[in-house]
Every structure is written in C-alpha cells, then in structure tokens.
Structure 1
C-alpha cells in the first residue's frame, strides 16, 4: 500500500561533466586575473555577476529565473539588502526548492580574507541560525566555506566555529564530485544535501533558534511579571498576564519591523539612554498605532498597560538583549512559522500570584501532565492546506476566492492560519502574474506593483486577503493575541519603509488590518445554551475574590493550551487565592468562555447565515475525558449532552472537534485535521465513525501507523480529510515507518475505497488485495470460538515489593534481591512463582534470563492466605512483607483499600486458571510471539508490560502445539498487522479484542490426509521448540549460526503448511509475505 514517486535523472553524468567544464573555465579565468580581483575596487556585485552566478548555474540552479517563475517559486532569490549602519541586513542569495529555503549563500569580494576574518562568518551564521537553516555557504570565489549553522552564533566565536568544509578555488576541480554531490540542485532534489546535513549533526554547541528564543522571552516574562506585580500591587493575575504578554508582543513586533527595514533601525535601542523608559516606550507604541492600526496597539480598548509602572532596568535589559552584540538573532529572516513554534511553547506556562502578590511563572498543570507542548511540523501544515484550501481555489479567480472562509477552531499560536494565509498570498501572486499583471496594478487600490524582484502583492491586497479569508477561534486569550501577531508579521514580510509609506500616503490607509473580527477568543465547543442546561445538582458555591466580586467555582477554569500538537485542556485553578490562571477572579462566564457562532458581533453570525465555512483546518487538542472529568465535570456533562461523538466510552476531546468542525462546514466545504487515528478502532470512536460513515464525508486519509510526527511525543496520528457533501468513494494510504520520509508525503500513491465498506465498522485501511484475503480468512472459526479463556494475569499493584530477582536458589528457600528495600532477602520457595514480563515472551519460547520471581500469597485454587497462614507457613515472607518500608508501600495502594489484608494483590484476577497449560502472548509485540507454557509454572501480569494467556476448550479437536504453529505463522502476522492497532516502533497490540478474532483453520483428524498434515505440523513445532531450547546454550558463533539457520528453515516449512491449511493461492501467499515486510 505504500508507494512513492521518486525523481530520477537519466542524464546525470552528462550534466556533471558539463558543469565541471564550466567551473573549470571560471577557475582558469579567476587564476589569470587574480591580482586584479583582489584589489579593493573589485566589488561584490561584479563578483556575483562574473563568477558566483555562473558557478551555481553550472550546478543546475536557475540563478537568473530564466524559467520565469513567480517570486514565491524562484529557485534562487537575490535578497534585497537593507542598509543598517555599515552592515547589510539580508543574505545575498537564498536557494530554494518548491519555495522552501534550503541554504543561504553570502558573498564577499576577494579582497576579504574569508578564512581569517570573523565578521563575515558570524554574519552568515546569524542569518542561517535565525532562519533555522542547518548549513549555509560563505564565498568570495577564491575561498568557499561551509558552515554548520545549528551552532548558536556568539560574537566571541572563532572564525572556524561551525566551519565544516573549506575549499580554495584551486580545489574546485579536484573536489568537484564532493561539491556537486552536496550543493547542486540535483543533489538537493535527491536528498544528498539532507544526508550531508545528517552526517555533520551532533557537534558541540548546537542550539535551535526557536529553543533559544523561547528561553530568551521566557526570561523576559519572568522579569516583567515580578516587577509589574511589585510596582503595581492592585494588579489581578488576569491583568498581569495580559500586561506582560502585550508588552512582549509589542516589543518583538517593533524589533522585527526594524530588521525588515519597516522601522528605522535602532529606535528601540535609543531607549537605553535616559530614564522613564516605560513612558518613552509607550510613545513608540502610540506612533505604531497611528502607523499600523493593527489592534496590537489599540489603546482605546487597552486602558491598563499605559498606566502601569515598571523599573527602567527591566525594560533596558530586554531591549539590550535584542541588539548586536548581545543578540544572536537576525530578525529579518526569523519567519512567522518559527515564532509560532516559540509561542506555542511559551503559552504552555502561565503567571500566577502568590498570597503575597508575588509573581511566579509555572508550567500549566495540564501541560506538565502531557509532557510538554508539541508544535505541528510545517510540512504537515503545508500538506493539509494544499489539500483543502488548494482544492477550493482550483479554477477560481481572485474575485471568487474572496468568498472563501477558512477557519481553525483551535488555532493556538496560528500555525495553520499562517500556512493558509501564505498559500493564499502565493496563489494570488501567481494568478496576477499569469493574468496581465499591468491591468491589476492600476486603479484606486491596485492588487500588485512591480519591484526589482517582479510583480508583488501590495500591502492593501495582502490586507484584503487576510480579512476576507482567514478566521480563527481559541479559548486562550493569549493564544488569540499571538495568532494575530503572527498574521500581522506575515502581512509585513517583504515590506519595507518605502512600501509602507506609499500605502499611508496614497491610500490614506494604515499599514495593517485590525483582526478583532477574524480571530476571536472563546470555547469552540460550548455555546450560550450551556446556561440553559446547567444541572441543579452540580456544585455551585459563590465566593468573593480579592476585590469583593462574586465568583463561582462551578466551572473550575477554562480550556488552556498545552497538549500534543497544541492541544487544549480544561484545568482547575485555586478558586479563591488567585493562584490559578484567572483563579477565583474569573467569573463563570470567563472561565467557561462560551462562544456563540451565530452572533453577528461576538461570533461569526454572517458566515453561519451564509451556510458556514468553506474550509476547517487545524490540529484539534488531544485530551482524555478522564483528565477533563477531574477538573471540569460541568464541561464534560455539556459535551455529552450536546455532541453525539461524546456519548460513547471514554472519549478524547479531539473527536468532538471533528464533529464540530464538520457541522461548521457549508455544503461542499472541506475539513483537514491532523489527529490521532485511535478513534478508527476504539469503542469511544463508534459514534463519530457512524456520523462520518452515514454522512459519507470521508474524501482522504493518510494513516501514519507508528510514525511519530511530533517531536518528543508518542502520538499515533493520521491526516483526516472530510467533505460536507456525500461521496461514494475515498482515497487512503497507510504509511510505513521503514520507508517514510517527510519529503515523500506529497508524492504518495493512494488507493480508492468505497465508503460503504466502512459503514459503522471499525476502520482499517487495507488495499483491495489485502481486504480480499482478510475476507477469506474471516470465514474460518475465530480463536475466541475454540477457547475457554483469553485472559490476563493479576496485578500486584506494588511490583517493587512483590517481584524479586533470584540470586541464589536453595532447596527450601532462595535468596532474592528486593527493589523496594534495596537489599537481598531470603524467602520460602513454596510461596514463589516464576514471573515473566511480556517482553520476555518470544516466538516459540519463554526467555527466563531475567530470573524474576513473584511472591504469590494465594493457594492452589486462588484463595488468599490468611495472615495466620502466612505467619505460620511462610514466616520469612511474612516478615519481609511486614517490613515497615514494604508495609507502607502496600498500605498506600488505592488509598488504603487493603489495610485489612495488606499482603494481597490489588487486582487478583483469573487466579484459578493462572497455572493451567496455556499459550502466552505479550500485550504488545513487533511480530507474533506466542509461546507454550506446558510446565504450567509461569505467572504473568496484566497491563501493557504484561501478557495474555490462551486456554483451549477441553473438547476441541486441536492441540496446543498445533495452535501454536498457527498463531506464530505469517498468516496470523498478516492478519494482526491489518486489524490491530499499530504502536510506536512498529509494535502491534495483541490484546484480547484483536487476537480473539484470529481465524483458526479447522482440521478434521478423522481424515487421514488431514491427520497427516496435522502430525507433520506438530512434528515441526516439536523441532522448533527443541531448537529454541538449544540456541541459548550454543557455545560458539558457528553453532549459534547453524541453529538460527535451522530455526529459519523450520519456520518457513511451518508457514508453507499453514498456507495450505488456509487454502491460499500462490498469488495470495505473495501478498501475505510482501505485506509482512
């Protein structure tokens, strides 16, 4: 099911030879005139035109844009340099593939010694590090230096810091293959450039710009919060969070504008001289309001921040850190996407106030519980946007496109809205370039103007597109402000003081739009009808906040940003001390933060009256209902009341967002989410599956199996694309972690499926050939039908006490190591049972190398020993369990539930059948790993680290050994991989709900031919069991290799017999074996 279109070049060698000849000519010319070139009068412009441009043209790059691409698709962008003092504020060249930067190239005239001069290297590294480009190049043609730009640049760095390759022009021919294989266009397209990046990874000092900038603004938040709380003692926690966020946002905005040439460089820096820094900073804010009108500087609404007090030193430290030499950041190339990543993490923390009105910054509890905040990778955003917004723009004009309404209902820091807006800007630029641009460059509000780089959108047109097309909602007010900031910075990309000035002068318009009607704060899932449904039985006890206002802890907080993918969660603050985000100072309205989609002013009433949104995109929050129930039972009840998807099982909130997103679409509208694919198979997803199947809404699915899309998070995701209108077919693909690379995502081969095949069932993506085989297999009896039990073992609840490691086995007692006491103890053998974890259950054998034993305080029929029995029959064990340290652990389980029998297991299940003859399988496994416990002496536990036992019916005409070979066969592996849940690392779940459906071929032992087949199979299993016993005892590598080869041969023989039992054809066998790779 997994296939990619791979680019190949049939004339690569010819191209290389041609390139080599061209570069040889350049080298010879440079050598002949070296003295003239090294004179100071020979400048960079001449060098670029005569040597650098032809050098990279020889490497296959369209340096002069001879193909006539629009600005956003040019392979090589000659950056417009912005003069600031004696330095230039942009790299000379940006090399791109598909509009995405790959590396910068900075040129210097040959008179400069690149190998020894630190300034050019530091300048290049600042550019590339800020743009998050791993490698970039510095050259004067005489020298060619390659720098690893993942290392944070510091003014004190040596010129050699980060330099990973250095060539002189005399080496260009001798080292040509090396240069071509790394920096030619062909090398980048084939992945050689990316592989080169990987081989240079891991150097000391590497630090990603987003992580560093996050640390930087985090320190600003700490300092500002503490000082504002100190100097303004009447500030509430809500006001403090607002003031800190707005101040940081405004400073960052103006500093970025400086580096982009929109503001005069050094305006903020001038505040370092003199006193009253906060007042003088606000003078710049007021000027910015007059110039930009963005809402960011709207002081008719914000009456708080202008009247606050703060110490000069706090602001001066922040401003000083934004300028050379203290700042490693080059804000002219710091993209909105990088800022979005930074802010997504930034929003994971919140300022709280102590009882003494001291500010402290803490990680939100829900973020801590989730292990952090995870940002959607940009290539995922691009793919979703291209396959939703892109499809809706097909065959349209700008006039028609202005009617498109694009929404992210949980927008976070705005990554999806930024991606959608960028796509719209690129699409409009391309359309105008291809449709008589001169015509659209005239009139009162021209859409384009001609620059040195070609036809570009005017600021007015960019504003129009943003206001017409982009909409977002988030429950976190800070997230809403960040989204607005990111979008405004995107409007200003490519602008400078001259173009902004023209907008002001010619059209009497201020430079930026006010996004208050586009990006709104509210709870996307809960509307004003929430108040009509409040149950009188729910707790309601009004209390007074610190200012004498009545508050209610009815809804203990609001959704806050913070989980995998930028998830939202409902968290609980302290209702009366102000210790929470808003705490007791937030009334019920603000904590639940209901959002009325149909309200013309506060919601999107006009859009909803017109039928809804054309496109809903994003990464909805991933939050389990159990987490929500702890802190927000009111919201949980409301979701269950309002949404069908929330009415089955222990759901995750992302499924409610999918249902809501579908409801917000107008006819023919499209939805594109990245979300977990667990709802495909889990019980809680049944209602959502029904909604989508009955509505015939699916049009595409990209299933990532066990591929981990988010860094540092274990989340099993898919890309889900829905259409509001009905479809009879959809396309889907299930990707494999073995071959997957992000750059291949756009060229995968999809298979077409009828939607009727998924009607109300669990959803499993299988090719038609796989489905046909599965249909054939499912005609056989299931494992469940031939067994009495498929069961899990008990759960002790204190493994560090009950599970011990054998040190010395004696006749009546054994010496074992106790993890709880950190020492060896002696216990009676008769109360010990061999204990095996799931990971030690292997294919055909049990690996008991861990030598673990469990204390089993139960008799042969599973009855718990009394305390008197334990004391008399097992005094050593009783003494061990009664040790104060152990007893404390045992009594603390489940809040003291076992105080009258502290020695018992917390979940003593299936005790009577634990030691029966059985087959064992781990809970999770990379491949089917069934083993035979014929000695009936292994204890195993419940849970993901445990196992399942399989007991055959006593009257069934199948032996355990025969069943064992079926369960370990290729056929069963194929079945599980197509019906079970795929987990990280390529593991699959072998829990009961999946293995109970395994088809088992019935064999009639009364027929001689069938009995012969059965006996041959069992004989091979006996051989396999014997070989696996011998393998650990092999004394030489040769002996081990010989046994392993025999195991493989025997395994293949068993598979051939099993194929025959299932009646598979050679073609079907080929599909099974290929599908198992």
Structure 2
C-alpha cells in the first residue's frame, strides 16, 4: 500500500487555494480539486476500472470509484461554489447522497475555503466528523510551520488514498464489501443503490449468457452418445417448440441461454435476499462463507452456488429443484462416463463459469437486501428484461391501481369469504395480480383470526394461511423467467408465515406454489388425442430421460400438471392482463389455436382465445376480469368473442380510450368483468369511458355511491348500457361492434340511423385505399425546377440526384395528413405512374410504350432495375410495375378523399382526377367513388362531402371508430361505410350545395394564397429585380463566407438616437441593418427561402427589386396574409351555418339533441 506524502497534500492545497476565487463557479473549483488533490496527491486515476475519479455526475459532485466490475463509489465529495457558506443543509445533502450510494466509506464537504472529512456508518446511515480545517490557514503556512493539529488533519486524508480501495484479494473483498449498498425501490425517487443494483444485474445477465452460449456450443459439438449433448438435444427442441409461440425462434440459442442465465441469476439473487432478510442462515455465496470457501475449494464460486441451491431447496423446493434450464450442469455420476478429452473440456467450461460467477457474486455481495420492499422484484423484471423482448411477448406491466380495482370489481377482497376461492392468472407475468391476491388472502385470515398482524398469529394459524395460498393461488406463464419472478414474489409475501410455522416445526417444508411454465392456450394432450392414443408419441422427447434425470422428470411433471389444470380445474376468479400479440406475428400456432378456440377467427389477437379460455375455467358462480386492448369493442376479428361474452353476465366495461394506463402510449386498454352469479336477461352493464388522465381515478370510481359521473368531473363518463344492446350492436348489418354510450347519445345515434335513406356503403360504388407501390424510394419524389415542362428533373426519394422524366407520366401525390376538410395541402410530392387507364381499367405500360413515348422515364427505371427486381412480384417480366396494382384505376374518376387517421372529419372532393394518394399504414388515405344514380354530375359530390364533413356525422363516426393517441380516429373502410346518408332529394340539397361551394371556393383561395405567401420569391415575377441587397441595406457587418440557415433571425435594435434599426442577424455579430421594417422582413424571407448555406458576397449580390418596389411587394404580401385570416373566418362562419342546416333540416335534430352532439364533440 502506498504511503501518502503530507508535503504533497500540503502542496495540493496551496495550488488549490491559489486557483480558488470568490466569484468562481462551482465547476471550476471542482476541476481544480480533482486535478490537484485527488489525482496528483491521492493517486486516483481518470481511467474507469483502475480506481478512478469522476466529477461529471449530474447528482454527486465528485465520486471516487474502486476497481471492481462494475466500479462502485467509495468516496463522495460534495462541492459548493466558493461564495457559498457551508451549513447544516449541506451536511444533510451529503448524508442523503451517501445513503443512496451506500458503498462509500468517506464523505467530503468543501467550498474551497473550508474542508471537512466525514466517516460514513452504513448500518446506521449516519455521518460523523473525522476532521476539518480552513484551507487558507493551511495553504498560507509554510509546510515546516504547520501546527500539530493541521498536520493531523492532513494526515487523516491518508484514508482517501487510491491504494486503499484497489487490488483487494478475493477473500478480503467478500469480507470487506458485504452489504455496503442498500437496495430499495421507491417510485418517483432517485435511488443510487437501486440503479447500481440494476446495472450489476444487467452486466451479470450478459456475462452469464455469454458463458452459457459456450456451454451450448461445446455440448452440441460432442459425440452423439455424450450425456450432455443427448440431454441438450432433447431439452432444447422441446423448449424451442413453445418458444416459437413468441415469434422469436430466429435466434433460439441466444434466447435459450439467456433464459437459463435469468434463472441462474434469480436463484443467486433470492439466496442473497433470503440471507439478508434472515430467512435463512449465512450462505456460502457471500461474506465470510465465500471468503472461507476461497481458501480450500477448486471452484469456490460454482461449488458455493450449487451448495446454496441444496441448502435453500430444503425450504423452497420449487424454486431450487433442478429442471431443464439446468441443462449445463453435469453431476458427478454422469461425469464418470467421460473420457479424458471430454473431462478436460468439461473442466475448462466449469473453470470459465466459476470465474464469471466470481464476478457476479462479488457484485451481489456488496448489496444489502434487508430493506427490499414488496415491489422491487417486479420492477427488476420490468427494468432489466429488455422492453423490446417484453413487447414481443405482448407483456405490459399492470399498475397496482388497476390491479386493485379489478380484484375489487370481482369482489375478491378481505371480508368476502376468500378462504376457499381458487384464483387463476393464466398470463401471470411477474405476478402483479397474484401477489395482490396473496396479500388480500393473508389479510382476510389475519382479520378472521382476530389478529392485528401476521406476527401475532400462532403456528397453526400461519400454517393454515400458508397452505391456503399454496392450494388456491394459480398462475401460468410461457416465460420461465416471469414465472420465477412470480415464485419469488409469492415467497416474499408469505415468508413471515413460513417463519411462524417453523417456530413450532423447524423441519417444515413448503409444498410450493401453483405457478407453472406453459402455453396457456395450447390444447392438452387429451384434447389433441380426442380420446385416442394416436398422438401419445407427441408428449416430449424428454420422456426418455424421465426415469433417471430429475430435471426432465420435473419438466414433464409440471407439463402434466398444467394439462390437469386445463382439463380438470375450475376457478372462482380468473384475472389477467393477457398478451397483446397479433397472430400474424406468431408462428406455428395459428391453426392449432383456431382449431381449439371457436372465437379465434381471421387475424385474431391472442387475447381473444385467452378470454374464451378464461370463461371456460369459471365455476358456475365464478367471476372473470381482464384488462385487454379496447379493440375488443371494434375490430372484426373480435366479433365472435364479443358474442361469446354477451352470453355471460357482463358487469363492467371500462374503455380507457387513448389515456395511458401502461408505461407506453399503446396499447389502448379496456377492462371487462363477468359475474356468473348474475343473469344475462335484463342485465345492465356499468360502462366507463375516459377522456383524460386523472390521478387516483379508479379508486375514486370504486368508492362512488352510485355508477354515475360526479358533477365536478370532466375526465370520464360513467353510465349503464343494456347488455342486450351490446348483442344487437354486434349483429348490426353495417358494423359488427360494441357501441356503448350514454342514453342521451344513444337516442341521437339511433335517430341518425332512422333519418337516413341509405348508408355510405350503399351509396358508394367503392371505398378504396390508396396506392401502394412497394418501392416508394423509386416511384415517389420531387420535381426540381419548373414542373410545367414536357421533361422535368425528378429526384426520387431514395436518390441524391435528379433525373429527367416525362411530365406526362407524373401524378400529384397526397399523403394522408395533406388531405384536409374541403381542400388539400399538397406538399409537392409526385408519383411516377407507369400505367394506362381507360374505361375504368388500368394496364401497366409495356416496355415498348415506355421506350417510345417515355424514353427518359425508361432510362430512369433502368437505373433502378436491380432495386425493383428485388421485390416479390407476381409479374417479374414487367418489373417496373407497382408491387400492388390495386386501385390504380380509381384515382382519375370523380372521388371523395379522406385521411385514414384524423382527429376530425376531413373529406374533400376531387372531380378533376388531379390528385392521387398513398395507402397503407396510418399515413395514407381512403377514396370514395359514388354510384352514378346517386351522383350523376361531378358537382353532386359536394352534397355528400358536406354531409361527411358535418358535425353530426363526426359525432356518428367517433362512436363507431377506434381511437388512437391524441384523440385521432381511424377512417378506414370498415368505419366509413356505416355512415348514415340522407339522399339529396330528401334534403335542402341546393342550399347545402351553395354553402358547400362557398366553403370550397374560400378554401381554394386560401390554399392559393398560403402557397404564394409560403415563399416570398413567388412575388418576384411581377417586379424587375434591378437592385441587389447591397443597394437596399443601410449597413452590413458580414465578413464570413459560410452562413447556415438555422441561426438566421430578425431583431429590432434601438440606437442611441432613439431610432429603431431593423436587423437580419445571420449569426452573432453578423447582421444586415435596414431603416424599414418591411424591407428587412423581405430580405429575411428571401434569405431563408434559399434553404442552403450562403456566402457573404452571394448575399450582398443577390438580385432584388428596388427599395420602393420591395415596399410595394411587401404591402401585397401582408395584404395576402390578412386575406388568409379573413377567408378562414368566413369559411368557419359558412361551416357553422352548414352544420346547423344539416343537424336540423337534414337529420331532424331538435335543440336538445343538437346540444348532445355539441357537448360530445367538445370532449371527443
């Protein structure tokens, strides 16, 4: 260990004192402190992993780290700016920081004038002063003249020397660092210990996965008769079969090894937690036990881990019993079969695993898990299982408020005779529902035994509760890691009960929880066999190992137990947040699910069969509550599950619409509850719909005296809806869906249908999606230069340079957001359209036609030939055709267009075939072609556009279409066709068309003016550009040749003479100055319209009109902008008049009914 030099320390403070200024910043002082004291005098490195100092942490000012992997903080230094006087608040801040860090032994508090050194007591979480001094008194004294107390104070800093915190031996490391860092989880707070723990877990998981992949590859390369290979060859395919359920079979080896690592890490983690909570005695994987093992074991870490498995298995056999995920472990008796070569290979692998486990166990050794709270493991699961992987599994964490409300909704709460109720979560994830179920069951019995807490129970009472949990709480999940987390969470909920039982019966062993790893939806062996024995061989290739391999036997027994649960068990409560995965994202199970579940139709989401399976599991008086996507209400694939649900007494439907329930913007959930103790006939469903988020809303709703929206609440609506109406809704001739709404809205909704002569699907010849080329980077692009020439310069979206193509083959192309109410906001996108359209049909142009009539376009296609041929094409010979030709012939005839995703109705007529539009995804559009008998002339389209743009049909649409974030709704074919249409002959059609023409004309004029004002250069054609900017500028301070667009801005500067100077600032210190604000504004608009970097002389020599003409031009420009606002106001007034006419004179709504429409649209 290095010896510190007091003279070096004194010199560090002398230099520091010289650099500290009263007005200096905290960062400057911190930099000097690190440079002179920590680096020069105390020997700390700047390189991570060598014992380094870091002073750029956002929360702690200076941190010194040891050389462990990952490095842990060992010194915390809180700095303040030199002008700040140190006080008690600063000491408390340092203590708070050190509580969070946990692993630090020492703390420092300094402002450059005063220096204080503290010792940190991690057990009591307290600071105690070691010493302190005024820096000036030390620095200004000669070293030889330092007093005894000053020398003592400097000598105390020897504690901080780098050498004390690095190069610890392994045994010393385990003794010295045990339980340094407290781990807790408190939502909404910064917890350094939890973050360090999370990083350690992530790094450990990666390291274990890597070494297990080496085991996997080595086993696969061994001879066929090798035991490790033969067992892996049976285990892995069996695992892979159900792994494909998640659609992730592409990298199965990685996933298999990672999940094995999850479980290995889980067991080690639980052993440490159980040890720190004194659930078990000291284990061999930490502190003194590990330190002792290091002295005499060949592979101390691996041996200690396996011994710990055995020790804790005596208490919790389900968690530590070896299973198929222990495929890497080879017992001594099996190793006797190895020859020398295989034995050496096995020893090499286990040596590497031992080394990796050493790093993992060192990390876990440092943490103190005594205060781990009830939610930490669920949050660890959420935080370190990658979000992408959880999303592919369709898993979303269910907030506790939602869990509590759902269990309350099915009357699973203390005092409701819970004792014998069996509860199942068929998609248990990390156990969020089941841990709350267990908490409630324990509370129920504690109250039943008339005790105040678990600790007041006697041994027999505790055993009764523990066994009721083991017997009545069931969970199934396809993810083994999730199932392990559930097991651990349930252990924590019941550990106090176990302690009570073992007070009287020390040898008591838990039977284990009914938590199983399986595909909930797969048919059982009995279901597959259909009563025959033809498929007995299907059970598992692991059968051959069951007689002599405990791991295989355990897996098969668990699988058989799940089959028993599926075939035989019934449950009083089924609760779940099932996976949200569309069947096209799964492989190999669609046919199996479709055959097993009557509701699994079309491209179903797997929450559909989860609901059907849940209903099947219910007892005659059972209850079900699920949270699942609200697409259950609207999507066509959910039609049969909606029917199945209406056969049961539905008690509640809560539609959260677009409010965020999970930690992501999607999915959009709903809660549905069923209670078989009620009857379907005459049943009214309690419905809630949520417009905005409201804190504590579910608890608030649960405690309401009646199912009715409180007067002061705007964020949600509560109402009742007859269950028979749900069934009728789902058998609607025009749209099979659920459409729950308050009675007042239902009356208006029904009146609209009754007032209609037809629906849009009857009036329309076609409702069609936009063009899908399958090669947008080639077919879509922009015209550079004049678009009105016979041959134009076309730059495809995927190209850097433009190429010539014939203007006649290009079409204006709209994206969905560019389609607006009454008009379009075309942004200049063009489509290369290699088709000939005639008599309502479209044929792709032949090679000869392109070569003769469009030679430039043919050259363009040839330059992209390889890219286009890479697509999957039905006709490979005409590789220049779109990937899908659907609807290309529908773009030129009269049509109505709409955006596929919008927050309001936005329909526009295109009677000139001027615009094409894209399809697909959420950024395209839909078109409507009307039948000739309903719209014989082009102008007739305006009547229908007026109806479709009206508030009344927006009211209708928002009751039937699914909602997305930001209150955007789907406007696809399924939700357009049901719109109720009153035909022109039964309405004041001429008045409507007159107002519609007026709105359309104002919209078109506004669009033209908006285009003109979008670029000031559009005005220059009317003026001679006889001057330059240099001629009209008052003064200039430009002296650079590279001005970016971003910094360009306008500024008004007041001169000493009190006269304003109007500036265009190119960047700081570089400006053009003008006497006229209008001239300045013109130059600003002109320069920013260039959309490129500009040089000084390029700016000054830019051609412009004379100053007088610029003033006239800007008067015209400002007049156009004022006219735009005027047109917007006039169009809004006309739209309001038109809306009122359609509401009252077309659909016959009275004042009260109009108010219902208006109030609904204010929110939605």
Q: TM-score, normalised by structure 1?
A: 0.67
- The equivalent position to 1:789 in structure 2, one of 757, 762, 766, is 766
How far does the alpha carbon of each residue in 1:235-291 deviate from its partner, in whole angstroms, 9 at most, with x for none? 65548858644432221112212333435678623314434322233333333334x
1:937 pairs with 2:929 = no
Q: Aligned partners of 2:323, 2:860: CA distance in 1, in Å?
A: 72
1:269 pairs with 2:287 = yes
1:379 pairs with 2:359 = no
Post-superposition offset of 1:988: 0.8
1:747 pairs with 2:700 = yes
Q: Aligned partners of 1:592, 1:786: CA distance in 2, in Å?
A: 62
Q: Is the 8 A contact 1:845 1:931 kept in 2?
A: yes
Post-superposition offset of 1:341: 4.0
Q: Aligned partners of 2:493, 2:967: CA distance in 1, in Å?
A: 39
Q: Is the 8 A contact 1:385 1:423 kept in 2?
A: no
1:505 pairs with 2:503 = yes
Post-superposition offset of 1:490: 2.5
Q: Aligned partners of 2:655, 2:430: CA distance in 1, in Å?
A: 25
Post-superposition offset of 1:798: 0.8
1:663 pairs with 2:616 = yes
Post-superposition offset of 1:441: 5.3
Q: Aligned partners of 2:324, 2:492: CA distance in 1, in Å?
A: 21
- The equivalent position to 2:475 in structure 1, one of 453, 468, 472, is 472
Match in the other structure for 1:620: 578
1:321 pairs with 2:363 = yes
Q: Which moved more, 1:945-954 or 1:227-236?
A: 227-236
Q: Is the 8 A contact 1:917 1:934 kept in 2?
A: yes
1:837-916 equivalences under 5 Å are: 837-861=815-839, 862-883=842-863, 886-894=864-872, 896-916=873-893
Q: Which moved more, 1:250-259 or 1:270-279?
A: 270-279
Give the greater-gyration-radius structure (CA). 2
Q: Is the 8 A contact 2:459 2:502 kept in 1?
A: no
Point out which structure has higher relative CO (alpha carbons under 8 A, 6+ apart).
Answer: 1
1:1053 pairs with 2:1095 = no
Q: Is the 8 A contact 2:418 2:444 kept in 1?
A: no
Q: Is the 8 A contact 1:503 1:509 kept in 2?
A: no
Q: Is the 8 A contact 1:890 1:902 kept in 2?
A: yes
1:946 pairs with 2:968 = no
Post-superposition offset of 1:941: 2.9
1:731 pairs with 2:685 = yes
Match in the other structure for 2:512: 515
1:767 pairs with 2:742 = yes
Post-superposition offset of 1:776: 0.4
Match in the other structure for 2:331: 307
Q: Aligned partners of 2:531, 2:1135: CA distance in 1, in Å?
A: 63
> Aligned in 2, Cα 1:1031/1:431: closer, same or farther, shift over 3 Å?
farther
Structure 2 residue matching 1:773: 3-state secondary structure = helix
Post-superposition offset of 1:775: 0.3
> Aligned in 2, Cα 1:825/1:595: closer, same or farther, shift over 3 Å?
farther
Match in the other structure for 1:252: 269
Q: Aligned partners of 2:532, 2:454: CA distance in 1, in Å?
A: 62
Q: Is the 8 A contact 1:794 1:942 kept in 2?
A: yes
1:181-192 equivalences under 5 Å are: none
- The equivalent position to 1:418 in structure 2, one of 432, 435, 441, is 435
Post-superposition offset of 1:1033: 4.3
Q: Is the 8 A contact 1:1024 1:1050 kept in 2?
A: no
1:710 pairs with 2:662 = yes
Post-superposition offset of 1:404: 0.6
Post-superposition offset of 1:478: 4.2
1:919 pairs with 2:869 = no
> Aligned in 2, Cα 1:123/1:714: closer, same or farther, shift over 3 Å?
same
Q: Which moved more, 1:839-848 or 1:514-523?
A: 514-523
- The equivalent position to 2:310 in structure 1, one of 286, 299, 321, is 286
Q: Is the 8 A contact 1:891 1:902 kept in 2?
A: yes
Q: Aligned partners of 2:638, 2:539: CA distance in 1, in Å?
A: 39
How far does the alpha carbon of each residue in 1:1052-1074 deviate from its partner, in whole angstroms, 9 at most, with x for none? 22211221221111111111111
1:192-271 equivalences under 5 Å are: 212=199, 215-226=202-213, 234=228, 237=232, 238=235, 244-263=261-280, 268-270=286-288, 271=290
Post-superposition offset of 1:1075: 0.9
Structure 1 residue matching 2:267: 3-state secondary structure = helix
> Aligned in 2, Cα 1:215/1:1047: closer, same or farther, shift over 3 Å?
farther
Q: Which moved more, 1:746-755 or 1:856-865?
A: 856-865
Q: Is the 8 A contact 2:395 2:580 kept in 1?
A: no
Post-superposition offset of 1:774: 0.8
Post-superposition offset of 1:623: 2.6
1:978 pairs with 2:959 = yes
Q: Aligned partners of 1:230, 1:544: CA distance in 2, in Å?
A: 23
1:301-700 equivalences under 5 Å are: 305=329, 307=331, 310-311=350-351, 312-324=354-366, 327=367, 331-343=369-381, 370=392, 374-388=396-410, 391-393=411-413, 395-396=415-416, 400-429=417-446, 435=450, 445-447=460-462, 460=463, 462-492=465-495, 495=496, 503-508=501-506, 510=508, 513-515=510-512, 517=514, 519=516, 521=518, 523-532=520-529, 599=564, 603=565, 608=569, 612-628=570-586, 631-632=587-588, 635-646=589-600, 648-693=601-646, 695-700=647-652
How far does the alpha carbon of each residue in 1:196-235 deviate from its partner, in whole angstroms, 9 at most, with x for none? x99x99x999996896465244235325525655897736
Match in the other structure for 2:162: none
Post-superposition offset of 1:991: 1.0
Post-superposition offset of 1:114: 5.3
> Aligned in 2, Cα 1:316/1:231: closer, same or farther, shift over 3 Å?
farther
Q: Aligned partners of 1:989, 1:817: CA distance in 2, in Å?
A: 32
Q: Aligned partners of 1:911, 1:442: CA distance in 2, in Å?
A: 76
Q: Aligned partners of 1:903, 1:427: CA distance in 2, in Å?
A: 72
Q: Is the 8 A contact 1:806 1:853 kept in 2?
A: no
How far does the alpha carbon of each residue in 1:870-897 deviate from its partner, in whole angstroms, 9 at most, with x for none? 11100111111111xx212211222x43
Q: Is the 8 A contact 2:205 2:265 kept in 1?
A: no
Number of aligned pairs? 798
How far does the alpha carbon of each residue in 1:633-682 deviate from its partner, in whole angstroms, 9 at most, with x for none? xx433322222112x32222211110010010002211111112223222
> Aligned in 2, Cα 1:429/1:119: closer, same or farther, shift over 3 Å?
farther
How far does the alpha carbon of each residue in 1:820-842 deviate from its partner, in whole angstroms, 9 at most, with x for none? 33321111001111111111101
Structure 2 residue matching 1:644: 3-state secondary structure = coil
Q: Aligned partners of 1:908, 1:265: CA distance in 2, in Å?
A: 72
Structure 2 residue matching 1:794: 3-state secondary structure = coil
Q: Aligned partners of 2:982, 2:540: CA distance in 1, in Å?
A: 71
Report the structure, 1 or 2, having the larger helix content: 2
1:807 pairs with 2:810 = no
Q: Aligned partners of 1:337, 1:920: CA distance in 2, in Å?
A: 51
How far does the alpha carbon of each residue in 1:743-774 deviate from its partner, in whole angstroms, 9 at most, with x for none? 22332443111110011431122111111111
Match in the other structure for 1:756: 724
Structure 2 residue matching 1:766: 3-state secondary structure = coil
> Aligned in 2, Cα 1:698/1:592: closer, same or farther, shift over 3 Å?
farther
Post-superposition offset of 1:122: 3.2
Q: Is the 8 A contact 2:806 2:854 kept in 1?
A: yes
How far does the alpha carbon of each residue in 1:712-761 deviate from its partner, in whole angstroms, 9 at most, with x for none? 46323211212234333243445345x21352233244311111001143
Q: What are the ranges of 5 or more consecutive residues in structure 1 without an aligned counterpart?
A: 1-110, 129-152, 156-196, 350-362, 448-459, 552-584
Match in the other structure for 2:1083: none
Q: Is the 8 A contact 2:522 2:592 kept in 1?
A: no
Q: Aligned partners of 1:977, 1:592: CA distance in 2, in Å?
A: 51
> Aligned in 2, Cα 1:437/1:867: closer, same or farther, shift over 3 Å?
closer
Match in the other structure for 2:318: 295
Q: Aligned partners of 1:535, 1:902: CA distance in 2, in Å?
A: 53
Q: TM-score, normalised by structure 2?
A: 0.62
